[in-house]
Amino acid sequence: STILVTGANGFVAAHIIADLLSSGYNVVGTVRSQSSAEKVLAAHKSYNREDRLRISTLIVADITIPGAFDNAVKIPGVDSIIHTASPFKLVVEDNERDLLIPAIQGTKSILESAAKSPQIKKVVITSSFASIVDLSQGLRPGYVYNEKDWNPVTIEEAKKSVSGSYAYCASKKLAEQAAWDFVKGKKDEISFSLTTICPPKIFGPANTSPLPKELSLLGVSMKEIYDLVSGANKQAVPPTRFWGWVDVRDVARAHVRALEVAGAAGQRFLITAGRYSYQEIVDLLSNSERIPKDVLENTLPRGTPGKGYAGDFVYEVENEKSKNVLGMKYHSLEESVVDAALQLIAVEDHR
């Protein structure tokens, strides 16, 4: 079977595609430009040889246009969709133009196209913990977030917010909500089931090879680890704003499991390994036996070792449903951040 993956050049999508290909699926990846298409094919080049053509790309320049994916969903063999494409930026000029419209309209347009194609059986959307967390509740000690929770933010609040990360969270919530509303409204007409995957902060190594030499081009996730290992945050360990985390390889696995497990249809999943803080990451990096002692000596901030970990003062995140239904197992925070740091250190060494 062939899976259509939108935003194929992204940090998360690169791992989803690698997992799909190694699990035996074929992939059609959509991207916005020819240069992204070339990067995707290069990143998965062992599956892109003449005798082994398992991945191809398609350019969808503007995902917000109605019918944008009409051709993509009709490609012979495509029976499922993983929609990851959505702006992941926390600093923007215009909340509507830069976040809300592409997130919400992009989601609607892939579903509208899918609804016109009876060959589509499953749609999995990359949502976020951003669509679960209630930002107005702050740290919410004692509370346990799970799939039943919804970020209560409205489109009006999102439009006028001066905070980019608030508007980003709203874009994810409103896009996911639009997806569930769409399948509810069309349940007698569509041939596919919907599953949404809600990861909190995603860490772990990039699967985009090679890693961009210009490290400022890294996505938000890798950039946060880079800012720690490169010395950009030498003075202090920044406080954490979102306390849940998950490894990118586990996020990819969850998307693939969502295609495979019958019980995943019609469900949303909080995909998380638990809680973290930057102080905990810094401590793990400085104590890791896999990183030579002198490498981060002058760059890694130290903060106050052992302090400021997620404790009684902050909400918890639950992963029972993901374990029970999808069979998820999770990487440890140490594996995740050390793997990412080693990759970043290797790039720095070759500059």
Active site residues: 172
Q: Is 205 in the site for ligand NDP (CB under 6 A)?
A: no
Residues 30-49 that bind ligand NDP (CB under 6 A): 32, 36
- Position among 73, 104, 133, 199 found at the interface with ligand NDP (CB under 6 A): 199
CB of 293 to ligand NDP, least distance (A): 29
Q: Is 172 in the site for ligand NDP (CB under 6 A)?
A: yes
CB of 339 to ligand NDP, least distance (A): 15
Print the SS3 string covering the chain.
CEEEEECCCCHHHHHHHHHHHHCCCEEEEEECCHHHHHHHHHHCHHHEECCEECEEEEECCCCCCCCCCCCHHHCCCEEEEEECCCCCCCCCCCHHHHHHHHHHHHHHHHHHHHHCCCCCCEEEEECCHHHCCCHHHCCCCCCEECCCCCCCCCHHHHHHCCCHHHHHHHHHHHHHHHHHHHHHHCCCCCCCEEEEEECCEEECCCCCCCCCCCHHHCCHHHHHHHHHHCCCCCCCCCCCCCCEEEEHHHHHHHHHHHHHCHHHCCCEEECCCEECCHHHHHHHHHHCCCCCCCCCCCCCCCCCCCCCCCCCCCCEECCHHHHHHHCCCCCCHHHHHHHHHHHHHHHHHCC
CB of 168 to ligand NDP, least distance (A): 8
Residues 247-266 that bind ligand NDP (CB under 6 A): none
Residues 299-328 that bind ligand NDP (CB under 6 A): none
- Size of interface with ligand NDP, in residues (CB under 6 A): 25
CB of 308 to ligand NDP, least distance (A): 20
CB of 154 to ligand NDP, least distance (A): 19
- Position among 29, 219, 301, 303 found at the interface with ligand NDP (CB under 6 A): 219
The one segment of 2-10, 142-150, 287-295, 336-344 that binds ligand NDP by CB under 6 A? 2-10
Q: Looking at beta carbons only, is 256 or 349 nearer to ligand NDP? A: 256
Give the number of other Cβ atoms within 10 Å of residue 298's Cβ: 8
- Position among 201, 249, 257, 268 found at the interface with ligand NDP (CB under 6 A): 201
Point out the residue whose Cβ comes nearest to ligand NDP.
10
Q: Looking at beta carbons only, is 212 or 231 nearer to ligand NDP? A: 212
The one segment of 45-53, 70-78, 214-222, 291-299 that binds ligand NDP by CB under 6 A? 214-222
**Buried b / exposed e along 140-155 (16+ C-beta atoms within 10 A):** beeeebbbebebebeb
CB of 10 to ligand NDP, least distance (A): 3
CB of 289 to ligand NDP, least distance (A): 27
Count CA atoms closer than 13 A to 260's CA, side-chain side: 14
Inter-CA distances, 276 with 81, 96, 216, 234, Å: 31, 31, 24, 19
Rounded CA-CA distance 111/340 in Å is 34
Q: Looking at beta carbons only, is 172 or 275 nearer to ligand NDP? A: 172
Q: Looking at beta carbons only, is 7 or 303 nearer to ligand NDP? A: 7
Q: Looking at beta carbons only, is 187 or 213 nearer to ligand NDP? A: 213
Q: Looking at beta carbons only, is 41 or 295 nearer to ligand NDP? A: 41
Q: Looking at beta carbons only, is 126 or 322 nearer to ligand NDP? A: 126
Residues 77-116 that bind ligand NDP (CB under 6 A): 84-88, 102, 106
Q: Is 128 in the site for ligand NDP (CB under 6 A)?
A: yes
Cβ 197 vs Cβ 251: under 8 Å: yes
Shortest CA distance to 106 belongs to which of 241, 6, 206?
Answer: 6
Which parts of this chain interact with ligand NDP (CB under 6 A)? Answer: 7, 9-13, 32, 36, 63, 84-88, 102, 106, 126, 128, 172, 199, 201-202, 219-221
